[in-house]
Amino acid sequence: MKPMKLTTLAAVAAIAAPGMLWALTEADTDGDGMVSLAELQSVLPMITEEAFTQMDVNADGGLDADEIAMAQSAGLLPANEG
């Protein structure tokens, strides 16, 4: 992934979610333990398909807890609060 893309994605996440309480359990509306693009966009509407694909490291179509933690550490998703 190019550094410019990481910077852009981090900026989008920061703009989309200031002060937002976001947790895996809130986004995982079907309870399957993974967050789909549609589920993620329901809480972070500015997340693009391209950004989601970059966060979906194993390319299985969903973000698991490890992928979410990596995306949060990289600043691509807001950190869990509380």
pLDDT at 54 (0 to 100): 95
Within-domain flag for 78: no
- Which domain range does residue 44 map to? 3-73
- Domain count for the chain: 1
pLDDT tens-digit series, residues 48-58: 999 999 999 99
pLDDT at 78 (0 to 100): 84
Within-domain flag for 79: no
DSSP of the chain: --HHHHHHHHHHHHHH-TT----HHHH-TT-SSSB-HHHHHHH-TT--HHHHHHH-TT-SSSB-HHHHHHHHHTTSSPPP--
